[in-house]
């Protein structure tokens, strides 16, 4: 017999081993699913786990997928550590993409002479302002009316999605696009500079890594970051110490929205080069898994983003090379999240074996 027994103190070992254990469980579940679908598990796992790292081009594509995940996950990690449950990074991503896309369309239509290096900071500013503006709605409603930020941020995702659809079906629609819902292609100068010529990976990846470093410094070395962390772990102690809950709320949501908006700006002006209704590949929702896999640590978010990017690219490759369903990548993301939540139980609890009670076989005489 086994039972869960509370630990006297949280286990530091399982705090970091839990993501690895959940990944191992996900691989076991994937193997079973591959066999159940009649596919070779070894080949299927090879496509999922190793093909995304096979060669320079594959690695650059992995970095391209990881860029928006890193930025979105950094903001969410800050929110979650501050006990602010922002679930709407997807909507903030879309509004950032709209803001940067609108800027790129203006540059394209006005035929402004600009190069990519000059456009990079403008796109970052536009995306950050757009995402922060969308997140400020959540902060305002939570601050003034005590509205639940989970519901508000989630519902605003659909508003942002509908707003984007209206733009590309209406005023920003390409008149020569054969009635497809898309904007005109951006001018060459209204794009992201590439790290390697001939590859799609742009310098937004370097910006994302610098953002991870900056977030780590903010959360571990700055007084404001310490206030937000304490407020998330012990709200009562935070109030007793005189820390402002309102300031933490606004800082967390505006920072998260700005980072998600920059991710949207990089996506629309980087690999896409135009606005469509399919700007996001659910990066804002996937980043929630990334944040928890990375233990809400900025540097852990980088490794979690690479892992989830591997799932996304592996799923696309498995669909074309092995004939697996397109939804399988999402299934593995869900299995990884639930496995992580289950394995996190071992941080605060441990399995204890119960010895069977020994009963007397006869009465004493």
| 362 assigned to some structural domain | no
Q: Which residues contact 345 (CB under 8 A, 6 or more apart)?
A: 4
Is a pLDDT exceeding 50 seen at residue 364?
A: no
Residue 338 placed within a domain:
no
Pick from 130, 81, 84: nearest CA to 103: 130
Residue 31 is assigned to a structural domain of this protein: no
| Enclosing domain of residue 208 | 38-324
223-259 pLDDT tens trace: 888 888 888 777 777 777 777 788 899 999 999 999 9
| Beta pairing partners, 202 | 194
**Which CATH number covers residue 310?**
1.10.3470
Mean pLDDT of 304-309: 95
Does residue 173 lie in a domain region?
A: yes
Four-CA torsion 250, 213, 294, 302, nearest 10 degrees: 120
Task: Give tens-digit pLDDT for 22-77.
Answer: 999 999 999 999 999 899 999 999 998 899 999 999 999 999 999 999 999 999 99
Has residue 335 been placed in a domain? no
Inform me whether the pLDDT recorded for 19 exceeds 50. Answer: yes
pLDDT for the residue 358:
56
Domain membership flag for residue 363: no
pLDDT band at 365; cut points 50, 70, 90:
very low
Domain count, the chain: 1
Rounded (10°) angle between helices 245-267 and 56-81? 160
Q: Does any domain span residue 267?
A: yes
48 burial class (0-12, 13-18, 19+ CB within 10 angstroms)? buried
| pLDDT of res. 18 | 92
Q: Which of 33, 26, 75, 67 is nearest to 49 (CA)?
A: 26
The pLDDT of residue 357 is: 59
Task: Answer yes or no: is 361 within a domain.
Answer: no
Measured distance CA(56)–CA(40) in Å, rounded: 27
Identify the H or E element spanning 23.
Answer: helix 12-36
In which residue are the tokens 């996304």 written? 312
* pLDDT tens readout for residues 112-132: 889 999 999 999 999 999 999
Q: Quick check: 362 pLDDT over 60?
A: no
């Amino acid at each position: 017999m086994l039972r869960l027994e509370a630990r006297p103190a949280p286990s530091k070992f399982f705090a970091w081993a839990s993501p690895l254990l959940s990944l191992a469980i996900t691989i076991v579940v994937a193997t079973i699913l591959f066999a159940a679908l009649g596919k070779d598990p070894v080949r299927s796992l090879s496509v999922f786990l190793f093909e995304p790292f096979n060669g320079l081009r594959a690695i650059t594509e992995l970095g391209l997928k990881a860029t928006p995940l890193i930025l979105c996950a950094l903001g969410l990690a800050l929110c979650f550590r501050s006990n602010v449950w922002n679930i709407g990074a997807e909507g903030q991503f879309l509004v950032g993409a709209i803001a940067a896309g609108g800027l790129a369309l203006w540059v394209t239509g006005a035929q402004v002479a600009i190069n990519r290096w000059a456009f990079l900071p403008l796109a970052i500013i536009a995306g950050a302002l757009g995402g922060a503006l969308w997140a400020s709605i959540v902060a305002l409603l939570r601050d003034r009316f005590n509205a639940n930020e989970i519901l508000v941020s989630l519902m605003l995702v659909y508003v942002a999605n509908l707003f984007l659809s209206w733009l590309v079906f209406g005023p920003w629609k390409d008149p020569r696009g054969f009635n497809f819902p898309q904007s005109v292609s951006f001018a060459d100068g209204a794009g992201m500079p590439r790290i390697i010529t001939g590859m799609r990976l742009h310098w937004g990846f370097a910006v994302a890594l610098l953002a991870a470093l900056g977030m780590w410094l903010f959360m571990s070395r700055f007084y404001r970051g310490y206030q937000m962390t304490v407020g998330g772990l012990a709200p009562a102690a935070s109030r007793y110490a005189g820390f402002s809950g309102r300031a933490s709320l606004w800082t967390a949501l505006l920072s998260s929205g700005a980072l998600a908006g920059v991710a949207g700006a990089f996506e629309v002006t980087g690999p896409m080069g135009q606005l469509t209704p399919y700007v996001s590949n659910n990066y804002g929702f996937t980043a929630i898994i990334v944040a928890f896999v990375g233990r809400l640590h900025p540097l852990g978010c980088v490794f979690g983003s690479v892992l989830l990017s591997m799932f996304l690219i592996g799923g696309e490759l498995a669909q074309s090379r092995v004939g697996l369903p397109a939804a399988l990548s999402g299934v593995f993301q869900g299995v990884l999240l639930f496995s992580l939540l289950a394995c996190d139980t071992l941080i605060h609890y441990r399995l204890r074996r119960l010895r069977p009670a020994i009963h007397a076989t006869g009465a004493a005489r």
